[in-house]
Structure 1
Amino acid sequence: MKKIYLIALIFTALNVKGQGLPGLGAGTTPNNKPILHGKNWVAITGKPLGATAGASIFQQGGNAVDAACAMIAATSTMWDVLSWGGETQALIYHPIEKKVIAINALGYAPSGATVDFYKSQGMDYPPQFGPLAATTPGTPGGIMTMLAEYGTMSLEQILKPSMELAKGYPIEAQTANAMEAQKARIKGWPYSKKIFLPHLGEEREAPSPGEIFVQEDLYQTLSKLVEAEKEALAAGKSRKEAIYAAYDRFYKGDIAKEIVRGTREQGGLFTEEDLANWTVKIEEPLHVNYKGIDVYKLQEWTQGPALLQSLNILENFDLKSMGYNSANYIHTVYQAMNLAFADRDFYYGDPAFVDSPMEGLLSKEYAKERAKLIGDVNDPTITAGDPYPFQGETNPYLDILNKNKASIAALDPSQFNSTLDEQFIADFQSGTTSVETADAEGWVVSVTPSGGWVPAVVAGNTGVGLSQRMQSFVLDENLNPYNLPEPGKRPRVTLTPSLAMKDGKPMLAFAVQGGDSQDQNLLQLFLNIVEFDMDVQEATEAANFNSYQMQSSFGDHEVRPGAMVLRKDTPDWINKELSRKGYKLELWNKTSGPLNAIWFDWKHGSFWGGSSDYGDDYGIAW
């Protein structure tokens, strides 16, 4: 018995995968869930029924884009922390063109949504909930654009699973209990109340777990989309044209009219022109190279570039020699994230409206300068840097930047709030879901659809729950002069799918839910694989740490300098060393949202799927 205990101690100290102990990975116990091995395809998402929808599309001969569209539709129907009125953003690897494509299907601010309007309502930030929190619906357009441009199947085929779910499915405890917990707010919105609270007047007014949950209005809306597609096909239109006919019915036809009517009835700002003028954008993603690996993220209307900035900063350190989740490693990565997120908080915004300094922010030279700021202890006064000189320009907001630095520097350290109260955590880690698919033809899709989570305002008799993404804007230019609301502008969001390429081939597709913690968790998953040789399932289950030293993108956009969450099994000596470095620690059983990833085994021509043991996320491979 003593020998076994000694071996365990030696393994813990080594923190390196292998070392003659098969089946164990760096810093982890044996996996709680198996690796998903597939030769033909793999589908991973936030709910088992959502993964089953993707599997059914693959079994019918669809590609990874077809399957991803069906999975987004299914999870939206299941209110898996999103709804049909939310937003969809994706990275797609196109195997024929051999390039990564970015999909921007984030809704924008409606007419009248300005800084002055929200301030006139007595608000410091746009609200978290209700009709004034809603951007225009993006997910329907995202699904239909992805399907039309890169899929192979009809809209009817990929909507079939979600239409069956809308007719009635056994609801999960997570969603049903969220409806019950939020029923006081839900009762303020008549169309939401009709759907979410089928047992009004009873002790439990929401559905019970396992109860068949029916959404007749949503079924009728989806049926109208299929009807529009069929009519276009009957008129001789192509598959692609027919899908876009359904798109037009949603954004310009009778569905749009009812969305606008129902939203305005409840106090929202939508106009028919807002929906008609909104379009999905097919964009070039941003990327950096980390030790020979090209990592791709969406543009600065998301927080994704913060992961790229973190990698650039961390290239200046020998992470592997520090050891997985050693005190020095955790401190270094935490500080790199703080530096990158400070830039996110000040500079990121919708590139259609503002010119964020992305060339400078993603330059290796700027990263080297930022890396020099990492000392031996936590710095709670870190603020945004000045990347403009690194792209040969002068910072137009240097006065605001310097004022912010002076204000923070003048604070007494005792004034920093590092307490992680329940509401702050709920806001900071506000959920979404993720969808990861890949097929033998080479198509790869990584998506983090979101918005319209419970409690959502439902837009009239459409069954479409509206996004709450307006809350990610700020109303004070001192916080971020690039992210102030105006009609037609997209807020800077947390949603952040990821793709990594090596030697011109897909290496890793990965995403996670969890608000502002997403790119923190994804950065660590990537480093787990690249620096510490974990397999994809080990990497999804491995212990994460989380920083809260950045503005929350939700609620009151608060900051908690020095606050850190570690997993409960972190050794005491590491906790003590981190405390010495100035961190205020909290220990949790699980320290990330549900991480989902696909690793590509080019040696054997197969897929390895990983889905963490947090929550209901699930995958199927074949």
Structure 2
Amino acid sequence: MFTTRPELTGDHGMVASTHWLASAVGMSVLERGGNAFDAAAAAGFVLQVVEPHLNGPGGEVPILLWSEAARRVSVICGQGVAPAAATIERMTALGLDIMPGTGLLAATVPGAFGGWLRMLREHGTWSLRDVLEPAISYADKGFPAVAGIVNTIGVVERLLRTDWPTSAQIWLPGGAVPAEGDRLRNPTLARTYERVLEQAESVTADRDGQLAAAVQAWYGGFVADEIARFCAETQWPDTSGESHGGLLTGDDLAGWEATVEEPVTLDYHGYTVCKTGPWGQGPVFLQQLGLLRSFDLAAMDLRSADYVHTVIECAKLAFADREAFYGDPNFVDVPLKALLSEAYSRTRAALVSETANTELRPGRPDGRQPVLPSVRTDLTADPSQGVSDAPMPDGVGEPTLGSDGRVRGDTCHLDVADRFGNMVSATPSGGWLQSSPVIPALGFCLGTRGQMFRLQEGLPSTLRPGSRPRTTLTPSFALREGRPWLAFGTPGGDQQDQWSLQLFLSLVHGGMNLQEAIDAPAFHSVHFPSSFYPRLAQPGQMVVEDRIGEPVIAELRRRGHAVTVEGPWTLGRLSAVARDADFPGRGFLRAAANPRGAQGYAAGR
């Protein structure tokens, strides 16, 4: 099979990410003796700088990791929570029936800094200064503007000029939209991180003490003070059409910390797949696998209409359960054991027929009555005609803003494996330059993850003070015979656990290597409600890359799918690293990255 680049193999270390600079920095850490956790953190902070349209310091990060010392998979939750003042009553008093997609009202506690430092403190070896120096250097001295940044700034140029002047000062250098390849700088952000380091190093010379002091500076010191002041004293236009301040306070930040959790797992054909809890959409990957166990995928051509139809129909069922049952388990009783049980999966899989279904059909795990949010539908396409003229949904592809100016966000991803046996999969996101105005004293903006809350009582995803939003961020990890095998993931909002699933199935059933699986034509469903403002559902609709072939597309339409056909290299930005060292005849680490967008790269030796 033709691939756009080789699958990398080696035995020293591997890094794969959505930006070549982050991959290069991560690999440089491994070359200089750092472990996978040092490398992942250094690469993650670089991504905040060089992919500001996809993530930032005001965002969040969920992390899945294998520690060879502990010999287990852990989840680090770097997802912040809703402010104490964020209630449905507060929002409805402002005339809102849906959380804004931009601005300050949708901000949750920025969890990325705490998430990365929790991982460093428990598993890393490098000092915080060594980890942060590459990001500080790029922010201070500059980095090349990739096409995605330029396109994003171009779409929101008017917004920045007229409504968010603090953002315009950084992202419209010289008063103009930068050109691709221009050097962009953010010296204010560089100074923020330098100040954090200065304060941490003034407290103690001890590495762990410095990490703790840095967390204090961020969540209980000058960073928290500036965030709280900006939210309380300023108001900015958002997608509601009105101007609003923020709800985050110093107490909200001081009361939060990144947590370590057990992964949710499912066994599939000799592999164990690990995901985050249902505060994220991660278990929907596992539910899809549970449904697909009822079908003989190994007997199918992975580019056939039979295969695509089966995967899409199972996705619809799993994501319907996501809408009905997923939420922060600290606040909601999620029937996860029942949702992942073999009996429930078999019952649900029996609903898959030869034709496309256009209903949102959650199940009844443990006999529970599903509770669905109000669904806004986009009926631009008529599924009976088998064709769709609907716009690409939120969070899909590059660029992530529509030509109509609707602000969307996307995500980054990175994977690392080191020679010591450690592996990391992380999906940093949020705090995009297009999400909210820059805090001038800090050089970054807050995130808008709160847009995933529902302003409707009684739902698992209802807005609740102190609750985590049901995020779409979903790194993936898989074990083979109980040993670490694969760390993988992708940006893409609701599509993350569809594109990542296709990679996994291509490896398990298609016999592909990592690069072949990433390069394979991608597809996904947009049948269920989007997690992003304005929360539209597009019943019966799906999206495919045209490389899948006209005969397959025609057959899918005959079966009742409304198919939107996109360009040959448009869907997904997957990356992955794998470890075969424990298996006879191999002994290599492997890596691959996505060619789409000419930005993601893997590095290793």
TM-score by length of 2: 0.91
Following superposition, the deviation at residue 305 of structure 1 comes to: 0.4
2:242 maps to: none
| Equivalent residue for 2:155, pick from 181, 196, 204 | 181
1:263-342 alignment to 2 at 5 Å?
A: 263-264=231-232, 265-266=234-235, 267-342=245-320
Structure-2 separation of matches of 1:185 and 1:164: 29
1:212 aligns with 2:183: yes
2:172 maps to: 197
Structure of larger gyration radius: 1
2:139 maps to: 166
1:463 maps to: 443
AA in 1 matched with 2:454: V
1:608 aligns with 2:590: yes
1:368 maps to: 346
1:51 aligns with 2:23: yes
Change (3 A) 1:261 1:154: same
1:153 aligns with 2:135: no
Following superposition, the deviation at residue 383 of structure 1 comes to: 1.6
Following superposition, the deviation at residue 262 of structure 1 comes to: 1.9
AA in 2 matched with 1:452: G
Change (3 A) 1:310 1:422: closer
Following superposition, the deviation at residue 268 of structure 1 comes to: 1.0
1:326-475 alignment to 2 at 5 Å?
A: 326-389=304-367, 395=368, 397=369, 400=371, 419-422=389-392, 430-456=409-435, 457-475=437-455
1:259 aligns with 2:232: no
Per-residue CA deviations over 1:279-314 (Å, capped at 9, x if unaligned) read 101001100000110000000011110010000110
1:88 maps to: 61
Worse-superposed segment, 422-431 or 79-88 = 422-431
Following superposition, the deviation at residue 43 of structure 1 comes to: 1.0
1:107 aligns with 2:77: no
Question: Is the partner of 2:204 in helix, strand or coil?
Answer: helix
Structure-2 separation of matches of 1:383 and 1:310: 14
- List alignment gaps of at least 5 residues for structure 2: 236-244, 403-407
Change (3 A) 1:388 1:140: same
Identity %: 36
2:11 maps to: 39
Question: How many corresponding residue pairs?
Answer: 572
1:496 aligns with 2:474: yes
AA in 1 matched with 2:3: N
1:7 maps to: none
* CA RMSD of superposed structures (Å): 2.2
Per-residue CA deviations over 1:571-599 (Å, capped at 9, x if unaligned) read 33322221121011122223522110112
Change (3 A) 1:416 1:444: same
Following superposition, the deviation at residue 427 of structure 1 comes to: 7.5
1:10 maps to: none
Following superposition, the deviation at residue 345 of structure 1 comes to: 1.1
Q: Check whether the contact 1:419–1:563 (CA below 8 A) recurs between aligned residues.
A: no
Following superposition, the deviation at residue 141 of structure 1 comes to: 0.8
Change (3 A) 1:52 1:404: closer
Per-residue CA deviations over 1:235-271 (Å, capped at 9, x if unaligned) read xxx3212201111011001121012112332311111
Worse-superposed segment, 508-517 or 221-230 = 221-230
TM-score by length of 1: 0.88
2:240 maps to: none
Per-residue CA deviations over 1:390-431 (Å, capped at 9, x if unaligned) read xxxxx3x55x46x999x9xxxx98799964214656589841
Worse-superposed segment, 376-385 or 491-500 = 376-385
Following superposition, the deviation at residue 346 of structure 1 comes to: 1.4
1:74 maps to: 46
| Equivalent residue for 1:142, pick from 95, 100, 115 | 115
1:20 maps to: none
Structure-2 separation of matches of 1:210 and 1:330: 38
Structure-1 separation of matches of 2:550 and 2:133: 52
Question: Is the partner of 2:563 in helix, strand or coil?
Answer: strand
Structure-1 separation of matches of 2:386 and 2:246: 37
Question: Is the partner of 1:474 in helix, strand or coil?
Answer: coil
Structure-2 separation of matches of 1:404 and 1:225: 44
Worse-superposed segment, 223-232 or 566-575 = 566-575
Structure-1 separation of matches of 2:307 and 2:154: 42
2:497 maps to: 519
Worse-superposed segment, 561-570 or 529-538 = 561-570
Structure-1 separation of matches of 2:301 and 2:401: 32
Worse-superposed segment, 183-192 or 92-101 = 183-192
2:238 maps to: none
1:545 aligns with 2:523: yes
| Equivalent residue for 1:231, pick from 199, 202, 223 | 202
1:532 maps to: 510
Structure-2 separation of matches of 1:283 and 1:422: 34
Structure-2 separation of matches of 1:367 and 1:82: 35
Question: Is the partner of 2:548 in helix, strand or coil?
Answer: coil
Per-residue CA deviations over 1:490-516 (Å, capped at 9, x if unaligned) read 100111000000112112111001111
Change (3 A) 1:216 1:430: closer
Q: Check whether the contact 2:18–2:593 (CA below 8 A) recurs between aligned residues.
A: no
Change (3 A) 1:511 1:36: same
AA in 2 matched with 1:559: A
Structure-1 separation of matches of 2:3 and 2:393: 32
Change (3 A) 1:330 1:107: same
Q: Check whether the contact 1:85–1:452 (CA below 8 A) recurs between aligned residues.
A: yes
Per-residue CA deviations over 1:299-350 (Å, capped at 9, x if unaligned) read 0011110010000110011011122121111111111111000001111111
Q: Check whether the contact 2:280–2:471 (CA below 8 A) recurs between aligned residues.
A: yes
2:603 maps to: 620
Change (3 A) 1:592 1:413: closer
Structure-2 separation of matches of 1:369 and 1:553: 27
| Structure that is richer in helix per residue | 1
Q: Check whether the contact 2:417–2:579 (CA below 8 A) recurs between aligned residues.
A: no
Structure-2 separation of matches of 1:383 and 1:299: 22
Structure-2 separation of matches of 1:610 and 1:453: 26
Structure-1 separation of matches of 2:596 and 2:345: 33
Structure-2 separation of matches of 1:359 and 1:427: 38
Question: Is the partner of 1:461 in helix, strand or coil?
Answer: coil
Structure-1 separation of matches of 2:178 and 2:470: 34
